[in-house]
Structure 1
Amino acid sequence: MPEIKTSFTRQRKYMFFLLSIYVLGWGFTSYQSIFLGLILGTALSLFNLWLIVRKTTQFGEAVANGKKVRSLGTMTRMASAALAIIITLEYPEAFHLISVVLGLMTSYIVIMIDFFLQSFHLRRKREER
């Protein structure tokens, strides 16, 4: 399982980088509700990413030890997305709904980009040999 932790560390750095850009956008532009929505969605997306890594690690350990596995936390991740939408609908003047939804998808986009970057990097290493 060290690969998943290494990937998570890389992806977490990307997510924090995006969050810092969103905070700068919130502070220095007139699109505050859009950037606040991106911040909310991306923060919960980062939480969901951490949760799936944690549950996957627990799943791997349980399988290796021959124990039963309950769940990978799908309901928890759905509940956090529902929480983001509820907050957005409660405070529509502060949060932009589409930005929150895009923020919630950020971790999946980051995972795909990271996968392609790592695949490209590994391919270049193999060609150099």
Structure 2
Amino acid sequence: MEPIANAVRKTFRYAFYGLAIVLILLALLPAYALFWQGMLLGIAAGMVNTLVLFNKVWRVGQVTEGVRPRGTGTIQRFLVAGLAAYLTVLFPHLFQLSGVLIGLFLVHGLSSLLVYRSLL
């Protein structure tokens, strides 16, 4: 479980770097504010999804005898991504859907890459 914990730590570190870069770009390029705000929402939702997945995987790794693991939190992660998309549709004057989707997939791609690399 230690390699996965290190990979998740790196994922959150790089995700926070991504948040900082997006905030700087939001300040420097206000003409694209809708896209950058969508990226912020997408990265935040992606970080929540990564935290839910890591929590569920950690619990599976800590299984004791006679206790059956319950899953990987797929429904919770779909609900978080759906909430981000719903907020984008509900407030189109604040967020752009392309930014939210890129932010969501950016964190998941980053975490997949780092976990794969840590297991080699």
TM-score normalised to structure 1 length: 0.84
Q: Deviations over 1:49-69 (max 9, x none)?
A: 11111100001112x534111
Shift of residue 93, structure 1, vs aligned partner: 1.3
Query: Match of 1:55?
Result: 56
Q: Unaligned stretches of 5+ in structure 1? A: 123-129
Partner Cα separation in structure 2 for residue 35 and residue 77 of structure 1: 22
Q: Across the two proteins, how many residue pairs are aligned to each other?
A: 119
Query: Which residue number corresponds to residue 70 of structure 2?
Result: 70
Q: Tell me how far 1:3 sits from its aligned partner.
A: 1.2
Contact 2:45 2:81 in 1 (8 A): yes
Instruction: Name stretches of at least 5 consecutive residues in structure 2 with no aligned partner.
Output: none
Deviations 1:57-108 (A, max 9, x none): 001112x534111221000000000000110001111101111011111122
Query: For 1:8 and 1:112, how far apart are their aligned partners in 2?
Result: 10
Compared with structure 1, are the counterparts of its residues 34 and 27 closer, same or farther at alpha carbon in structure 2 (3 Å cutoff)? same
After superposing on structure 2, the runs of 4+ consecutive aligned residues of structure 1 that deviate more than 2 Å are: 111-119
8 A contact 2:7–2:118 mirrored in 1: no
For 1:46, the equivalent position in structure 2 comes to 47
For 2:112 and 2:70, locate their aligned partners in 1 and report how far apart those are by CA, in whole Å: 27
Structure 1 or 2, whichever has the larger Rg, is: 1
Aligned partners of 2:102, 2:25: CA distance in 1, in Å?
16
Report deviation, 1:113. Answer: 3.9
Question: In the alignment, is the contact (CA less than 8 A) between 2:42 and 2:99 conserved in 1?
Answer: yes
Q: Percent identity?
A: 25
- Take 1:54 and 1:112, find their aligned partners in 2: how far apart are those partners? 15
Which amino acid in the other structure matches residue 56 of structure 2?
K
Output the amino acid matched with 2:105.
Answer: M
Instruction: Compute the TM-score of the two structures, normalised by the length of structure 2.
Output: 0.90
Separation (CA, whole Å) in 1 of partners of 2:66 and 2:11: 30
CA distance in 2, matches of 1:94, 1:58: 37
Distance 1:28 1:81 in 2: 28
Structure-2 separation of matches of 1:118 and 1:2: 10
